[in-house]
Structure 1
Amino acid sequence: MATRIHIGVDGGATGTRLRAVDPDGRILGEGTAGPSSLTLGVDAAWAQIRIALAAAGIAEADHPDTTVACGLAGTGRPEKRADFRAKAPGFARLRLCSDAHATTLGAHAGRPGAAIALGTGTVGSALFADGGTRQVGGWGFPVGDEGSGAWLGLKALGEALQLLDGRNVEPSGGSALHRAMYETCGATAPELLSWTYQAPSTKYATLAPIVVRLAEQGDPAAVRLMRAAGREVDRLARALDPDGVLPFCAGGSLAAPLRPYMDPAITARLRPPQGDARDGAVLLARSLAPGEAWSDA
């Protein structure tokens, strides 16, 4: 008799990570692939998931005995979710949720809690004791992602552009942060226009480590931006759990750098995550954690 396989997929704009387990949770295989965010297209997402399945040693013939749970970025649009389901291979069952929900499930081992991802973008998700869920943020750059790496980069470069125009009240020549923006992105209008032309969030996020480094060195402009980012993360946390009763996790490349700039009442609730989004997706595949309201629609 074939072993029943449960697969968890964590897919975003950077890459895809997959883990296959048996009914007892023992790892059968793991695989990685390129980005599988639904914002990049449903066909592209399935192509990368298939690559990760092959890397994990899961053959097409195994699919009838397989339950797959995908925690993917870009699941906000119902038509994208429907198209993703329609193009799925013949799995025994397919469960779908946002990457934010999978992150929360993994962080708290499927139990109630809140989690915020702080990287190129920002998004928060909460699971409550009654099984209800809430997501805050995740609207995407540039209309959202406040406090993220892309947001920090955009703000830092924007200040440098205003200084170049004489619209900034900084001291003559600006701070070390503004000079670093010129050194990185260009010091003339044509160079700066070339750098910013159709720049995606990932490009602006490459400027965030400069802000972090100079804030650690005490640069006033960098410190000001980090404080502003910390306030945005505080707002996410309060909106997720207004009563402040849930255990709280923060992950991503900016979680540690932003912690000193957050409200101490919020950071006091921070707990180390017990797992990541792939772990959360595996729990969902094994029916050991609840999905979002629409996850099995």
Structure 2
Amino acid sequence: MSDALILGIDGGGSKVLVALADKRGRILRRSRGHGVNPMDNPNWLQELEQHLLPFRDERNLAAVAAALPAYGEVERLSVLQRDAIERLFPNVHRRVLNDVDAAHLGAFAAKPGILILSGTGSMAWARNSKGQSARTGGWGDLIGDEGSSHWIGQRALNLVSQSLDGRAPATALAKALFDHLRIDPSNPMNGLGDWASSVANPRADIAAISALVDQVALGGDKGAIALIEQAADELAKHHAAIAGHCDPNSGWTYAGGTFSSRLLLEALERRIGRPPALPKLPPIGGALLAAAQLLDWPLDDGWFGPIVATAEGGDCASQ
């Protein structure tokens, strides 16, 4: 069916992106919303449904792949996620998979390799030449997620409080944080305490502080630079722990918003000892690839190119 359409869903802790695409690799429509991680967002289902309902009655929709956070990790939540997709799209081919599995599919175009993910959370996912997958990390912010945006943001808050107390050297992160949160620097305990006790989405809002750390690190602040280096140490441990699952010369790549930090990516590259491969597709492209596989579509650079061009920042194609 040449007019068949596929739907890809890329869910995460901070956002969900939904994209409708055709067999030529053109993204025709998109929807973007807030995070849909059931581990920390009690409203994840409402948020997910809000952005899927406009696609539910798409006449030529033939396959849906939903890449969702925490899927396959906690069975009770995975059942709820599967049920939601089955209920919304009962008459099409469906696949639900972990969001990092889909990011790996996209980054390597379903080929072997190691993906290091650092977004709101962190994880490494590997697929070897036999098609077998393995993972490390992804324990959530209460247990792990070392090297993630949330991890960096939490430690930035620690560093700022310590510097204010005199338990750590002064850092430019303090002023950057006060400006970002619109806090009166003359009474930081009141301002930070008020923010911490009223923040609507703690995980996402703390993760957003990592962008401040990167900006201040680029300005040469030693405390901020140290946080970036520590994050790279943690992500390098993910790579070392999972490298044995793949062939010795397997490539690695990256995904997730934390890697918008050039400093972090360069620090991780130094630790791994070789440069990353450029991701073939962004995470939403991995979800679309998973949906396309359900229909046995031929997938090559002629399909990947339009997906990349219209995935995140480009304009949607006209039908």
TM-score by length of 2: 0.76
Contact 1:142 1:201 in 2 (8 A): no
Where do residues 1-297 of structure 1 align in structure 2 (5 Å cutoff)? 3-12=3-12, 13-22=14-23, 25-27=24-26, 29-35=28-34, 37-39=36-38, 40-51=43-54, 53=55, 59=58, 61-62=59-60, 66-75=62-71, 76-87=73-84, 88=86, 89-166=89-166, 168-170=167-169, 174-185=170-181, 186=183, 187=185, 188=187, 189-197=189-197, 199=199, 200-242=202-244, 244-255=248-259, 256-262=262-268, 264=270, 266=272, 268-287=274-293
Over 3 Å counting, the alpha-carbon distance change for 1:239 and 1:257 in structure 2 is same
Q: 2 CA distance for matches of 1:108 and 1:144?
A: 26
Q: For 1:116 and 1:43, locate their aligned partners in 2 and report how far apart those are by CA, in whole Å.
A: 30
Deviation at 1:182, TM superposition (A): 4.4
Kindly tell me the number of residue pairs found equivalent between the two proteins: 276
Contact in 2 for aligned 1:37/1:74 (Cα 8 Å): no
Contact 2:255–2:283 (CA<8 Å) still a contact in 1? no
The offset of 1:146, in angstroms, is: 1.6
SS in 1 for 2:257: coil
Q: CA RMSD in A?
A: 2.7
2:269 and 2:276 in contact (8 A); partners too: no
Question: For residues 113 and 151 of structure 1, what CA distance do their matches in structure 2 show?
Answer: 25
Structure 2 spans left out of the alignment, 5+ residues: 296-319
278-287 or 107-116, which deviates more:
278-287
> Contact conserved, 1:122 with 1:145, CA < 8 A, in 2?
yes
TM-aligned CA deviation for residue 263 of structure 1? 5.1
Kindly state the Cα deviation for residue 193 of structure 1 after the two structures are TM-superposed: 0.5
Match of 1:274, SS state, is coil
Cα gap change, 1:215 to 1:245, in 2 (>3 Å): same
Q: TM-score scaled by structure 1?
A: 0.81
Q: 1:184 to 1:68 in 2, by over 3 A?
A: closer
CA change 1:117–1:198 in 2 (3 A) is farther
Separation of aligned partners in 2, 1:203 and 1:232: 21
5+ long unaligned stretches in structure 1 = 290-297
Deviation at 1:45, TM superposition (A): 2.0
**Identical amino acids, percent of aligned pairs:** 25
